[in-house]
Structure 1
Amino acid sequence: MPKFPRHQIMSLTGEQARHELGESYGPDLRLAELLTPELAELELGYGTAAGDVRLRTAIAERHGVRADEVVVTVGGMHAIFLLAYLLAERGEVVTTAPEFPMTRSAFETVGASVRVVPVSFDDGYRVRADAVRAQLTPDTKLVSLATPQNPSGVAVPRSVLREIVDAMAVVCPDAYLLVDETYRSATYGVDQVADTAVELGPRVVSVASLSKCHGAAGLRIGWVISTDPGLVERLVTAKFSTVVSASPVCEALAVRVFEKENLAERSGWLEQNLLITQDWVAANGQLVEWVRPSAGALCVIRVKVDLGRFKQEAAETGVRLADGDWFGDEPRVFRLGFGYLPAPELKADLDALTTALVRAAAGQPGVGVRLGM
């Protein structure tokens, strides 16, 4: 019987840790920033199956597509589940490991056979087109990639995506490439936002949401973008069959999020916190190493101390990271979210993490115990 497996990552939705470094998004917007007098007149009826046309237009304008090529969903995971259900039920899916565990669960829940392209810390989490091609077969229905990836924040270069699309056209021409672009707009400082992958052809589908880049996870608004009209029609029907519509209240507030368009301000915040994290890693190089992310509010670190002792010390210190094995990564790797906290709080939490690492390293040959920050 199909079922949704329970993952430890659900613990992040519980009580917040004293030193919270496990989250994967930037600072939250507040409702007061979005409210207008006009919203008080909003009728609380059903929305449309495709989504509010103003919201779809705002999303479309930022991706260079038409509004009728956008389907609004109840968060990004709803979008991924609908695509898994429509395109991969009892079919073959090619995806990476590590990856966000709920994405893998969506494929397994619909009975798909999953073929894995491993990416690793030691290789900088680089996705190689030849490694993806090696997993393709004529039975492949869906290839699923994220750029930037969760948990690493490492992007897949556009040239690699193009090579993958070309390989799919030869090996499995009826398959779709699902690209999760949730962190695409979460750039650092003056870095340019990468072009959307949906431009690579009608067999490429983009998924994202307001949760990570825009700080509006509580609205539960995501979307699918496809230039294949047949797939769009199937998605609208599938959405209606699962949730009827998204909340008109949330859609109206989502329009306000796009009207405010505070990505430049958030990019400055993320850049500052990235540099704080970079300095922290450099100061504690005997205890920890990292892979620098391309974008997003997250990165991965790998501890150089005894793993069991570190987990115990982190728990006693009140530090929470996201375990790498939640994502299918090696046990010594952890996702560190640096974008959620203001800079002073981030520094304090990283100091607490240093304390846990130092205590875990005490007496360990070859590992220094000097506080790094």
Structure 2
Amino acid sequence: MKQQYRCHRQQRIKQQFMSRFPDNKIISLVGRAPRFDLAESVGPSVRLAELLDSAFGDGADFALDYGTAAGSPELRQEIAKDHGVDADDVVVTVGGAHALFLIAFTLCQAGDEAIVTEPVFPLPRNALAAVGATTRVLPLSFDTGYQVSLDALRNLLSPRTKVVSLASPQNPSGVAIPASTLREIVAMLADHAPQAWLVVDETYREAAYGADLAAPSAVRLGERVISVSSLSKCHGSAGLRIGWAITRDAALRQTLMTAKFSTVISCSLVDEALALAVFRQRERILGERRKLLAENLQLVENWVSRHGAFIEWVRPDAGALCCVRLKREVFDAAGIERFYATLTKFSARVAPGPWFEDDPWVFRLGFGLPALTHLAIALECVSVALVEGSADGAGV
């Protein structure tokens, strides 16, 4: 009886925790990686040695005090300069996910409505649900190129809408929302949901391809627009855990700063010093990664073209990620299982669509992490999985 009670209690506690933060196999991305990892959406990481002299120089022996609640003034100035805002508009956070949680916690109460897209990287949606907001889904579709439908968004808005959470470029598709569409959304919110804030996750914005220009930040489109980003994706510095929220509303900025102080007090001074060094070398760091992304994207595009009998894709606008779809006439449910089983056999992985509430026939392909030769080998593993997973390959 005691054992049954203990098991029942543990199950009840697990269900209670999961209701706040639902489990998702995407957590495996921060576990042990396979040999050929095409599930990730990052590029090569910056090495600590690249930053040490710039970050510390002769002043490495500084005191490990608390930082400020807003973040280092020098770091905020660098972030602001890149976004065309003032340093006082920036709150530095412990990664972009922390910024998204603080925004949800600050702006939404139980019963308020928030609009999120699907498919979506789950953390923004989970943060809103965790604070009791009712999340309404704005569907995005592979068949429409993951474009935002203004009519569909308008039908979801109400006076109870407090947050509209978007990403541009999106995760998992890498599709950007055009500036003209974002302007229309800002105007729409003013008319139909005047209490709402537009939150735009711009984590992949600067991960342009080759000589392509990065899209301008959405933060200057209106007073009720909040931009969120981090150093994790474009700058190869996920281990620093430095992100930020930018708002031109002074009252909201103060509230976010207070919320940050109440959760983590401040960011690490070491992380902030290294982040400042990243910004001071950003042209080199971004330039190297944009060249790699352009080369790898071209390889992926050629690979997709060669496998048109099995797959189709939506070409991304920026970022080290894209969505590929297995053709339904070639893959049944058992074929999808064979496809993933074959990848596992080769110690390779892609990110399944259900991680993002997308179609099981869709997967996210990350192409920024490996060098060109390694990516070519990894894609050949996927090629074999396509053959073995297909209806014709079932009897091989």
* TM-score, normalising length: structure 2: 0.90
Write out aligned runs for 1:36-47 (5 A): 36=53, 37-47=57-67
Name the residue aligned to 2:175.
154
Aligned residues: 367
Gaps of 5+ in 2: 1-15
Moved more, 168-177 or 210-219: 168-177
Name the residue aligned to 1:273.
296
- Deviation digits for residues 195-247 of structure 1, max 9, x if unmatched? 11011111000000000000000000000000000000000000000000000
Q: Give how far 1:89 is off.
A: 2.4
**Preserved contact between residue 128 and residue 160 of structure 1 (Cα < 8 Å):** no
**Preserved contact between residue 119 and residue 356 of structure 2 (Cα < 8 Å):** yes
Q: Give how far 1:39 is off.
A: 4.9
Write out aligned runs for 1:1-373 (5 A): 3-36=20-53, 37-90=57-110, 91-261=112-282, 262-304=285-327, 305=331, 306-361=335-390, 363=392
Q: Give how far 1:134 is off.
A: 1.3
Alpha-carbon distance in structure 2 between the residues aligned to 1:136 and 1:349:
43
Moved more, 353-362 or 280-289: 353-362
Secondary structure in 2 matching 1:206: strand
Alpha-carbon distance in structure 2 between the residues aligned to 1:335 and 1:291:
10
Secondary structure in 1 matching 2:215: coil
Secondary structure in 1 matching 2:338: helix
Q: Give how far 1:356 is off.
A: 1.2
Sequence identity percentage: 53
Which residue type is aligned with residue 6 of structure 1? D
**Preserved contact between residue 129 and residue 161 of structure 1 (Cα < 8 Å):** no
Which residue type is aligned with residue 41 of structure 1? D
Secondary structure in 2 matching 1:239: helix
**Preserved contact between residue 118 and residue 357 of structure 2 (Cα < 8 Å):** yes
Which residue type is aligned with residue 137 of structure 1? S
Q: Give how far 1:336 is off.
A: 0.6
Q: Give how far 1:145 is off.
A: 0.3
| CA RMSD across the alignment | 1.4
CA radius of gyration, larger in = 2
Which residue type is aligned with residue 312 of structure 2? E
Secondary structure in 2 matching 1:122: helix
**Preserved contact between residue 20 and residue 126 of structure 2 (Cα < 8 Å):** no
Alpha-carbon distance in structure 2 between the residues aligned to 1:358 and 1:204:
46
Alpha-carbon distance in structure 1 between the residues aligned to 2:376 and 2:62:
42
Which residue type is aligned with residue 286 of structure 2? L
Alpha-carbon distance in structure 1 between the residues aligned to 2:59 and 2:144:
49
Gaps of 5+ in 1: none
Secondary structure in 2 matching 1:307: helix
* TM-score, normalising length: structure 1: 0.96
Which residue type is aligned with residue 83 of structure 2? H
Which residue type is aligned with residue 159 of structure 1? S
Secondary structure in 2 matching 1:46: coil
Judging by fraction of residues, say which structure has more helix: 2
Q: Give how far 1:362 is off.
A: 5.8
Alpha-carbon distance in structure 1 between the residues aligned to 2:393 and 2:320:
32
Q: Give how far 1:307 is off.
A: 1.0
